[in-house]
Amino acid sequence: MGANSSSISELPENEYLQKLSGSEPISENDPFWNQLLSFSFTTPTNSADLKLLEEATISVCKSLVEKNPRTGNLGSLIKVFLSRTKELKISAECQNHLFIWQAHNALFIICCLLKVFISRMSEEELQLHFTYEEKAGPSSYGAECEDLIEELLCCLIQLIVEIPLLYPCQHTDSNWWKWLCSWYRGRYSGGVTSALGYAVRDITYSISLEAVTTLIVFLSCQLFHKEILRESLIHRYLMHGRCLPYTSRLVKTLLYNFIRQERSPPPGTHVFQQQTDGGGLLYGIASGVATGLWTVFTLGGVGSKASAQLEQCSPLASQSLLLLLVLANLTDTPDTPNPYRQAIMSFKNTQDNTAFSSSNPHAFQINFNSLYTALCEQQKSDQATLLLYMLLHQNSNVRTYVLARADIENLVLPILEILYHVEERNSHHVYMALIILLILTEDDGFNRSIHEVILKNITWYAERVLTEISLGSLLILVVIRTIQYNMTRTRDKYLHTNCLAALANMSAQFRSLHQYAAQRIISLFSLLSKKHNKVLEQATQSLRSSLGSNDSPLPDYAQDLNVIEEVIRMMLEIINSCLTTSLHHNPNLVYALLYKRDLFEQFRTHPSFQDIMQNIDLVISFFSSRLEQAGAELSVERVLEIIKQGAVALPKDRLRKFPELKFKYVEEEQPEEFFIPYVWSLVYNSAVALYWNPRDIQLFTMDSG
């Protein structure tokens, strides 16, 4: 690369890259590394540009794959990087003012090379490329050789957890900061703290992002296997040995990166005045650091603008969340449960003063209020919804905190909006949103409180103007709409089951249902009734037409009929649950029931529904009688008044008692079969500055993400 490489098209002929991938071993002490690592660039942020970068460098990577076992140049590059990172921790005595910048550039090259190596070879072959040892001969792989893979992994984790994202007026008491300010004053005039602060933030942000990205690349071997990896060299390193003590700190740092949503440094902010030294290191401090360091080559010259998407988001937050999801979904080993999942399952609020359990060494504390705010704000992405699901399902501390929040609508509304726009979301995102609702509705306190939260003007709900509605009624509307969409489009039984389970969990606590919500409950039952009759008619006609013919097989209408009757049964149980426990709180539901009472006639004598119809039939008969006594031509207001009066007079002992409707979410056996491909599809589609050739992907098909 070097100082003079500024466009992708020049990379295959770049003299430094050619030497790196050549036949001659390069010592880690060779001045070549200073030349190689003196480059400035702006990262390609879209898949097209990233594809160009990969295609331009593939010849270099292939050459290195072929020759590295004899030269060990990859190992030398990694050792150069490791030596630079050691200098990051040196305080006032440090004399190398370029250590962060060169460490970042070295790590970027390592990441690019690793991505190609991992996509083209097994872990065993990869390990051989890391274990070259010059002392024992040019092609020797000694067991006594220092394990560079583990050292590099450990170094990356240390970078993530120990390098702060520095800002003006922060860390000004550290020797590292004081030395940097002193060095800056010796060369330039002007405001030191603010100007240098942004420069340092630029560099530290970039190297933190690159460290997170490289860890994702290390774990990307899963992409190139159809089966879930249950034994992996990289997994073992991360779950044992030198990396293990950093587990809780790494998870905590990644969570805080997600919480803080720090924007990427703006490109083109020149802090250091340009100096030239024949294109060497000082060129780098003039152009590399000052132009925003964060990241790769330009397509049209150094300093091209970052994409609008990246200006509006936090690459570090997004990449940290992806890494966290990947780590949390590593499979357990026979002798060791996944420590990253253990850390996610057990962390506590900073305000929780109870002692940590001795059985979990990876527990830590984090600010739950900040975490809750970030989760509420970021639910438009699959990744944030998946994180919320994991925390609610696996961490009882988070679940208890969320359910106790007085502003639960801030979390529920984004989830409802995901379900409302089901046509625009992928099926996995919809599933996660729905399961989150199911988990929340397992709590009776939640089911009561959502009817006490009054919302104004829900602008994204287009079917009807909702100027005022309770959160509970809105939740019912959205879930029913999801069921109706599923009935007419996807016909997914799993989606049906979870929607109905959430409604069933809430049914005993229905309170003051909005008239439109009550109407939609009965309208859904009407839709099911019509579908039931249609399938029944089709089955009858098919049977008649086949009496004279033995050639054509009968369609399996019995299975369709069974599914519809299961859903009808559940809807009747939901209505019954509300009537038997909170009829007096829901006059609008009774009104809607009476208005469409003819719908229920056909189910009175049906053997599958007779028992559950007894209570509904009693309520319809009781209130119909009172309305008849009140006379004809009654206004809506008068009918509701009669219903409210009748609710007090209705003899509750005549209503048959049924078991309480309660459903609890339980993960399927071997959940990794679903979650690992899902997580990696998110990485493939969403990771910043990462591109994999779709033809190489084995874990999932390209339309599964």
pLDDT at 3 over 90: no
pLDDT at 5 over 80: no
pLDDT value of position 266:
60
Question: For 63-88, how does the pLDDT look when each residue is reduced to its tens digit (9 = 90+)?
Answer: 888 899 889 999 999 999 998 888 77
pLDDT value of position 163:
79
Contact 471, 409 (CB under 8 A): yes
Question: For 292-320, how does the pLDDT look when each residue is reduced to its tens digit (9 = 90+)?
Answer: 222 222 222 222 333 444 445 789 999 99
Average pLDDT, the chain: 82
Question: For 104-138, how does the pLDDT look when each residue is reduced to its tens digit (9 = 90+)?
Answer: 889 989 998 999 999 999 988 888 888 755 544 44
pLDDT value of position 486:
86
Bigger pLDDT: 653 vs 641: 641
Q: CA-to-CA distance for 569 and 584, rounded, in angstroms?
A: 23
pLDDT value of position 192:
42
pLDDT value of position 645:
92
pLDDT value of position 104:
85
Q: CA-to-CA distance for 266 and 311, rounded, in angstroms?
A: 8
Contact 1, 19 (CB under 8 A): no
pLDDT value of position 56:
81
DSSP 301-343: STTPPPPHHHHTS-HHHHHHHHHHHHHHTPPPBTTB--HHHHH
**Which amino acid is residue 682, in one-letter code?**
L
pLDDT value of position 592:
95
Q: CA-to-CA distance for 104 and 545, rounded, in angstroms?
A: 75
pLDDT value of position 11:
77
Contact 575, 505 (CB under 8 A): no
pLDDT at 618 over 80: yes
pLDDT > 90: percent of the chain: 51
Section 213-226 average pLDDT:
96
pLDDT value of position 703:
61
Lowest mean pLDDT among 209-218, 329-338, 450-459, 570-579: 329-338
pLDDT value of position 176:
46
Lowest mean pLDDT among 193-197, 371-375, 591-595: 193-197
pLDDT value of position 102:
82
pLDDT at 12 over 50: yes
Section 519-539 average pLDDT:
89
pLDDT value of position 414:
97
Lowest mean pLDDT among 34-48, 162-176, 378-392: 162-176
Dig out the tokens for 236 from the structure.
Answer: 């073992």
Segments in 489-514 forming alpha helices (H): 493-507
pLDDT at 4 over 70: no
Q: How many residues does the chain have?
A: 705
Q: DSSP 3-state assignment of 141?
A: strand
pLDDT at 471 over 90: yes
Q: DSSP 3-state assignment of 36?
A: helix
pTM of the model: 0.87
Query: What burial letters (b/e) apply to 345-374, b meaning 16+ CB within 10 Å?
Result: bbbbbeeeeeeeeeeeebbbbbebeebbeb
Q: DSSP 3-state assignment of 511?
A: coil
Dig out the tokens for 584 from the structure.
Answer: 């007096």
Question: For 428-469, how does the pLDDT look when each residue is reduced to its tens digit (9 = 90+)?
Answer: 999 999 999 999 999 999 999 999 999 998 999 999 999 999
pLDDT value of position 564:
87
The pLDDT-based confidence of 561 (bands split at 50, 70, 90) is: confident
Cβ partners under 8 Å of residue 6, min gap 6: 40, 41, 297, 298, 301, 302
**Backbone phi, then psi, for 469, in 5-degree steps?**
-160, 150
Question: For 400-429, how does the pLDDT look when each residue is reduced to its tens digit (9 = 90+)?
Answer: 999 999 999 999 999 999 999 998 888 899
What is the number of H-type helices and E-type strands within the chain? 29, 4
Cβ partners under 8 Å of residue 447, min gap 6: 441, 472, 505, 506, 508, 509
pLDDT at 91 over 60: no
**Which of the residue ranges 15-29, 172-186, 435-449 has the most confident prediction, judged by mean pLDDT?**
435-449
**Backbone phi, then psi, for 298, in 5-degree steps?**
-100, 155
Chain CA centroid to CA 456, Å: 29
Q: DSSP 3-state assignment of 469?
A: strand
Contact 217, 156 (CB under 8 A): no
pLDDT at 646 over 80: yes
Question: For 347-358, how does the pLDDT look when each residue is reduced to its tens digit (9 = 90+)?
Answer: 999 998 888 877
